[in-house]
């Protein structure tokens, strides 16, 4: 059995709890579907831990922004946080990110960050027709931060959701496991208020992290005043 992570986004507080849960399941082999960096400040802690555990990862779009002289044309938040992380990431971790492929396969499981048309930045809408064009049976991708399982009979797909920034209205960190035939989705609670404290220390306002309180894509998804109150009161 393997564990499948995605979209950690510098949120080591969440990653630490996910890894503890994976350890409790007795799972040693871990794969990461990209977006290791971006959004939250503990980029070196995340990279160091994934390397220490010999996690096999692919490159996501945020990882690409970190390495390339490029930016995200969809989000100023992405650009602001990547700019900050470029100032603090170690050279060792940059070199590791550079080494990541955009595609991995394990025992017939095909893994990318986005999709099989654009492995780094495709917002995949899975369907049987889509996967009929892709060889294989088992598929996993991240990028959308929303857990999803699809069984088309001869094609099976999983999005494990996001460790570091869930966007499905559930603030718990998300990941998946795969036993060679079936996927299983998992959620793990963590103290997201600690991430907020670290973001404040790094100079970022609540706008950049309050979404963690409710598992939202952005502040417009939820009443801002209520979100702010719940974040600082530590409600789950």
May I ask the CATH architecture of the domain 2-233? 4-Layer Sandwich (3.60)
Task: State mean pLDDT over 89-94.
Answer: 98
Quick one: pLDDT at residue 224?
39
Buried-exposed string 150-184: b where 16+ CB fall within 10 A, e elsewhere: beeeebbbbbbbbbbbbbbeebbbbbbbbeeeebe
Residue 226 has pLDDT above 60, yes or no: no
* pLDDT confidence band for 72 (50 / 70 / 90): confident
- Give the predicted TM-score (pTM) of the model: 0.90
Secondary structure percentages of the chain, helix, strand, coil, to 5 = 35, 15, 45
């Amino acid at each position: 059995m393997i564990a499948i992570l995605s979209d950690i986004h510098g949120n080591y507080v969440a990653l630490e709890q996910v890894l503890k849960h994976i350890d409790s399941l007795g799972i040693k082999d871990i794969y990461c579907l990209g977006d290791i960096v971006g959004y939250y400040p503990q980029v070196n802690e995340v990279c160091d831990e994934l390397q220490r555990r010999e996690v096999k990862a692919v490159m996501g779009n945020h990882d690409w922004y970190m390495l390339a002289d490029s930016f995200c044309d969809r989000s100023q938040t992405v650009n602001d946080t990547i700019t900050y992380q470029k100032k603090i990431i170690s050279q060792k971790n940059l070199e590791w990110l550079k080494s990541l492929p955009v595609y991995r396969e394990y025992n017939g499981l095909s893994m990318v960050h986005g999709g099989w048309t654009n492995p780094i930045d495709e917002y995949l809408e899975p369907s049987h027709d889509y996967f009929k064009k892709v060889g294989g049976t088992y598929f996993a991708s991240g990028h959308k931060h929303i857990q999803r399982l699809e069984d088309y009979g001869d094609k099976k797909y999983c999005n494990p959701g996001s460790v570091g920034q869930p966007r499905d209205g559930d603030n718990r960190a998300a990941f998946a496991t795969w036993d060679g035939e079936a996927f299983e989705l998992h959620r793990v609670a963590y103290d997201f208020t600690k991430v907020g404290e670290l973001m404040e220390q790094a100079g970022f306002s609540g706008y950049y992290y309050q979404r963690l309180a409710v598992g939202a894509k952005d502040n417009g998804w939820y009443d801002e005043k209520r979100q702010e109150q719940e974040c600082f009161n530590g409600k789950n």
